[in-house]
Amino acid sequence: MKQLKLCESEYHLASIVWENEPLGSGELVKLCQKVLGWKKSTTYTVLKKLCQREILKNENTTVTSLIKREQVQKFKSEEFINSTFNGSLPKFITAFMNNKKLSTKEAEELKNLIDSYKEK
């Protein structure tokens, strides 16, 4: 699923779309100028790439997503854990926590989350 690998600029533009969709392409240009400091040509270049890769759709000057943020985040997270921690979620959590403490509520939430994904 290499198509879900977004560079930083692609992810920023897609995030603007995810947060505001559906939106007109003119409004997207204005938001990208305001939020990212981009020129119109930059916005349309990145938008075109994302449309060609079927991440976004620009139909009748209305921009919407074909791939949801959660799908990209899942891909990016899995790719990071696989490449950095050899696919080990426990190694990732250990490195992430690095002497941090969880509140009782946070620990309980994580325990419940883990329990919901256990094999039966």
Q: Which CATH architecture has domain 2-69?
A: Orthogonal Bundle (1.10)
pLDDT above 60 for 1: no
Q: Where are the domains of the chain?
A: 2-69
Q: Is 63 exposed, middle or buried (CB count within 10 Å of its CB: 0-12, 13-18, 19+)?
A: buried
CA gyration radius, the chain: 18
Q: Tell me the percentage of the chain whose pLDDT exceeds 90.
A: 75
Q: Would you say 4 and 71 are in contact if contact means Cβ atoms under 8 Å apart?
A: yes
- Specify the 3-state DSSP secondary structure of 6: coil
pLDDT over 70 percentage in the chain: 98
Number of C-beta neighbours around residue 96 at 10 A: 9
Tens of pLDDT along 48-97?
Answer: 999 999 999 999 999 999 999 999 999 999 999 999 999 998 899 889 88
